């Protein structure tokens, strides 16, 4: 089989493997607080109320984020019902979409085999795998940024006929009639049209990103592509005029796609413009401390090192001058775009005061592509490093200097793939204090033994075999963690699930009973407690902080009306009444409420992590 043909044909196992990694055990874990519960409940309320314009949580406006994530999840819930699998299906599809965009970009530079390697790195890296099944906006943002940069890249490559001599120009010149077609002009015209279309696609993807998480979806693709254009600013040909025309048309398309929702919400919901623009965009960094998100500037360094496992060891040999000099012009352009993409994402979020681990997720497709391009042929590159001539670092096929990698680097990869399986039970034991479940000790011991076995067995593996085993072991390790999480999901402190609490409330509640939420809002509780909590049956709220959800949006306290108990006296009167009252309270609420019940006995129904459910009967 010719090499070009074999390069295009994927191994039989590759697509099933990727689908298993992306979709395996997708619905086995309950929704975690606060993010998953909040996003899922907003989507569920869209389906329940039919209001897809203004996101609501607990049936009052919630405009912290644009609506795309809610729309995607609500569409899935509408089709597949209200369940965890339906909630996470759009996430898995977004992760798969980001992987495919990365594949197409890398394939256009170095072929399909290298593109598949980029997909393998991306889908088996720890942070992308986790965030493709954890409901936040970040995997959707990552998808749109990946597609925007791919479309920009294709728009640039489509302009090659404008600067490269065509096959027609190499033919002997002949005298042509005025009506005779000009093949070279037709080729150039077609190239300009293709570039224009790709730019429209890039601006459409950025519009999707802005409807997901705001202006950052514009900044990263625009600056990454702009860096490459500036670097090639002296290249011949009329590229500049085509790019400028595409930017004008693309910017117009962007405004038509992205602005209508914002205008409609600002016109519909009072104070929404000030809250979204001043509070969420301008004031986001300053709110880091207020929302417990303020972190030091180096916060994302360990996040990157852990999130890229098992491929983290390759970072030390990724950017090397010898390797850069060995690249042809096209690959250098791609390398520059990918490096700016990754570096800019890391720098922007590191400078920002507000930091959460998943904020740097958009840089991972770029890292996967860089790793694939750097080691597009594991056997050749690392095999040279294992040979006696490794010190020469000379690629005889190309005649260019390359940067050899040390022999031990490839052996580390299969071992690193087991670290998530070892880290999870250790975190359960030391961080979450889950010390009463035997599986924690068994998992630590087993994963430790497997880690030693992987290191020992990899001594005789080729670099290509080490890479394949690293991807396979990482997939098994991550899926094993996914199967273990349900055992401790109610013990994860602020990230616990509220599912047992919601099911207990539904089981005990009878028509005519009252529900009170005390001290803190359980954001995702209605997802599991509906219809006990619904648009027509909202609970009373007691002792909630004024600066936190759901009161942080202007006017929400007024929208709850008499459902907000003005003081502890009002709470006490409901507890002492003859009507049965259920209280969903944060830890300590049950003990504190005894003093306010005027001697009436309270009964604790269940404790789920930090939450309590009790009643006055």
pLDDT of 186 > 90? The answer is no
- Residues 415 and 508 placed together within one structural domain of the fold: no
Question: Does residue 74 carry a pLDDT above 50?
Answer: yes
Higher pLDDT pick, 460 / 281: 460
Kindly indicate the confidence band of residue 239, based on its pLDDT and cuts at 50, 70 and 90.
confident
* Domain-ending residue, one of 350, 376, 402: 376
pLDDT of residue 463: 85
Which residues contact residue 24 at a Cβ distance below 8 angstroms, ignoring those fewer than 6 apart?
479, 482
Q: How confident is the model at residue 405 (pLDDT cuts 50, 70, 90)?
A: confident
Q: Does 465 lie in the same domain as 608? A: no
Which is more confidently placed, 184 or 38? 38
DSSP string, 289-358: TTTT-B--TTTHHHHHHHHTTTSGGGGGGTS-HHHHHHS-HHHHHHHHHHHHHHHHHHHHHHHSSB--GG
Give residue 454's pLDDT.
94
- What is 69-134 written as a DSSP string? HHHHHHHHHHHH-SSHHHHHHHHHHHHHHHHHHHHHHHHHHH-HHHHHHHHHHHHHSHHHHHHTSS
* pLDDT at residue 391 tops 60: no
CB burial string 555-583: b at 16+ within 10 A, e below: ebbebbeebbbeeeeebbebbeeeeebbb
- The verdict on 450 and 513 lying in the same domain is no
Measured CA to CA, the distance from residue 52 to residue 541 in angstroms comes to 26
pLDDT (tens digit per residue) in 417-447 = 999 999 999 999 999 999 889 999 999 999 9
Residues paired with 583 in a beta bridge:
516, 614
- Structural domain of residue 37, as residue ranges? 21-164+190-376
HSE-up of residue 256 (Cα within 13 Å, Cβ side): 9
Pairing of strands 60-61, 56-57: antiparallel
Count of domains forming the chain? 3
**Residue 229 phi, psi dihedral angles, 5° rounding:** -65, -40
Residue range 208-235: average pLDDT? 92
Domain boundary among 439, 455, 489: 489
Span 192-205, average pLDDT: 95
* Number of C-beta neighbours around residue 72 at 10 A: 19
Is residue 3 one of the residues assigned to a domain?
no
Helix (H) or strand (E) holding 205: helix 183-213
351 occurs within a structural domain: yes
* pLDDT, average across residues 99-127: 96
Band (pLDDT 50/70/90 cuts) for residue 599 is: confident
Please report whether residue 385 resides in a domain. no
Same domain, 323 and 361: yes
Q: Is residue 345 part of a domain?
A: yes
Average pLDDT over residues 454-469: 90
Largest interatomic CA distance in the chain = 108
Residue 328 has pLDDT above 60, yes or no: yes
Specify whether 274 is located in the same domain as 360: yes
**Same-domain pairing of 201 and 342:** yes
Are the beta carbons of 307 and 125 closer than 8 angstroms?
Answer: yes
Q: Which residue has the higher pLDDT, 540 or 169?
A: 540
Q: Is the pLDDT of residue 3 over 60?
A: no
Reduced to 3 states (helix: H, G, I; strand: E, B; else coil), residue 65 is coil
- The string of pLDDT tens digits covering residues 532-572 is 999 999 999 999 998 888 998 999 999 999 999 999 999 99
Alpha-carbon distance of 308 to 314, in angstroms, equals 10
119 and 268 both lie in a single domain = yes
User: What is residue 290's predicted lDDT score, i.e. its pLDDT?
Assistant: 44
Give the model's pLDDT for residue 236. 63
For residue 606, the SS3 value is strand
Q: Are 454 and 514 part of one and the same domain?
A: no
Calculate mean pLDDT across residues 255-275.
95
Q: Which of 441, 462, 489 is the last residue of a domain?
A: 489
Give the pLDDT band (50/70/90) at residue 184: low
The answer on pLDDT for 179 being more than 70 is no
Question: What band does 165 get if pLDDT is binned at 50, 70 and 90?
Answer: low
Structure tokens at 554: 């202007």
* pLDDT score recorded for residue 462: 85
Model pTM score: 0.92
Q: Are 256 and 324 part of one and the same domain?
A: yes
Tell me: pLDDT of 173 over 70. no
The answer to whether residue 7 is domain-embedded is no
- Residue 1: predicted pLDDT: 40
559/471 same-domain check: no
* pLDDT band per the 50, 70, 90 thresholds, residue 90: very high
Instruction: Extract the tokens encoding 312.
Output: 């983290």
pLDDT at residue number 387: 34
Average pLDDT across the chain, whole number: 88
With CA atoms as reference, report the closest residue to 343 among 327, 374, 378, 367.
367
pLDDT score at 159: 85
Work out the pLDDT band at 598, boundaries 50, 70, 90.
confident
β-bridge mates for residue 395, sequence order:
400
What angle is formed at CA 87 by the lines to CA 82 and CA 89, rounded to 5 degrees?
Answer: 125
- Pair (467, 357) in one structural domain: no
Residue 382 lies inside a defined structural domain of this protein: no
Whether 109 and 196 map to the same domain: the answer is yes
pLDDT band for position 111 (cuts 50, 70, 90):
very high
Q: Which helix (H) or strand (E) segment is 220 a member of?
A: helix 216-231
Which of 175-184, 261-270, 504-513 has the weakest average pLDDT?
A: 175-184
For residue 593, the model assigns a pLDDT of 93
Q: What would the mean pLDDT of 71-98 be, rounded to a whole number?
A: 98
583: enclosing H helix or E strand:
strand 581-586
What secondary structure, in 3-state letters, does 387-410 show? CCCHHHCEECCCCEECCCCCHHHH
Residue range 206-212: average pLDDT?
98
Q: What percent of the chain has pLDDT over 90?
A: 73
Within 405-437, residue ranges assigned H as helices are 407-416, 419-430
């Amino acid at each position: 089989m010719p090499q070009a043909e074999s390069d295009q044909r994927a191994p039989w196992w590759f697509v099933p493997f990727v689908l298993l990694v992306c979709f395996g055990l997708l619905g086995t874990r309950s929704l975690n607080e606060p993010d998953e519960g909040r996003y899922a409940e907003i989507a569920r309320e869209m389906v329940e109320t039919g209001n897809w314009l203004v996101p609501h949580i607990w049936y009052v406006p919630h405009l912290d984020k644009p609506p795309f994530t809610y729309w995607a999840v609500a569409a899935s819930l509408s089709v597949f019902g209200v369940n965890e699998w339906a909630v996470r299906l759009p996430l898995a599809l977004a992760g798969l979409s980001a992987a495919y965009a990365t594949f197409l970009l890398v394939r256009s530079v170095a072929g399909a085999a290298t593109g598949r390697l980029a997909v393998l790195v991306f889908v088996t890296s720890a942070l992308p795998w986790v965030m493709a099944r954890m409901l936040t906006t970040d995997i959707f943002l990552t998808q749109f940024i990946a597609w925007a940069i791919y479309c920009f890249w294709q728009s640039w490559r489509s302009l090659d006929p404008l600067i490269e001599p065509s096959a027609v120009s190499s033919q002997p010149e002949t005298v042509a009639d005025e009506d005779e077609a000009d093949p070279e002009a037709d080729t150039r015209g077609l190239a300009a049209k293709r570039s224009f279309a790709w730019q429209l696609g890039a601006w459409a993807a950025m519009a999707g990103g802005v409807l997901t998480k705001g202006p950052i979806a514009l900044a990263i693709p625009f600056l990454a592509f702009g860096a490459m254009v500036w670097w090639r600013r002296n290249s011949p040909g009329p590229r500049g005029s085509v790019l400028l025309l595409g930017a004008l048309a693309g910017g117009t398309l962007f405004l038509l796609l992205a602005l209508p929702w914002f205008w409609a919400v600002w016109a519909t919901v009072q104070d929404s413009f000030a809250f979204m623009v001043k509070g969420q965009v301008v004031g986001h960094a300053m709110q880091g401390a207020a929302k417990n998100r303020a972190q030091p500037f180096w916060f994302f360094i360990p996040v990157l090192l852990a999130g890229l496992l098992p491929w983290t060891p390759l970072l030390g040999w990724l950017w090397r001058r010898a390797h850069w000099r060995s690249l042809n012009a096209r690959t250098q352009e791609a390398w520059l775009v990918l490096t700016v993409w990754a570096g800019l994402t890391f720098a922007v979020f590191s400078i920002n005061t507000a930091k959460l681990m998943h904020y740097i997720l958009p840089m991972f497709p770029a890292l996967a592509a860089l790793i694939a391009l750097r080691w597009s042929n594991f056997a050749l590159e690392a095999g040279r490093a294992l040979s006696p001539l490794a010190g020469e670092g000379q690629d005889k096929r190309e005649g260019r200097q390359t940067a050899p990698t040390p022999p031990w680097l490839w052996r580390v990869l299969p071992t690193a793939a087991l670290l998530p399986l070892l880290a999870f039970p250790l975190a359960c034991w030391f961080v979450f204090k889950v010390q009463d479940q035997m599986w924690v000790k068994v998992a630590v011991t087993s994963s430790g033994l497997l880690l030693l076995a992987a290191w020992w067995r990899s001594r005789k593996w080729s670099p290509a075999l080490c890479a394949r085993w690293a991807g396979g072991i990482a997939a098994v390790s991550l899926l094993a963690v996914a199967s273990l999480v349900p055992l401790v999901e109610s013990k994860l402190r602020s990230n616990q699930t509220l599912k047992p609490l919601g099911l207990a409330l539904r089981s005990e509640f009878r028509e005519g009973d009252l529900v009170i939420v005390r001290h803190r809002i359980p954001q995702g509780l209605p997802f599991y407690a509906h219809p006990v909590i619904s648009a027509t049956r909202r609970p009373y709220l007691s002792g909630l902080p004024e600066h936190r959800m759901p009161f942080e949006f202007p006017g929400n306290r007024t929208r709850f009306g008499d459902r907000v108990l003005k003081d502890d006296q009002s709470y006490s009167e409901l507890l002492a009444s003859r009507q049965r009252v259920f209280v969903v309270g944060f830890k300590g609420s049950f003990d504190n409420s005894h003093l306010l019940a005027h001697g009436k006995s309270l009964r604790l129904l269940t404790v789920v992590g930090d939450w309590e459910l009790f009643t006055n009967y």
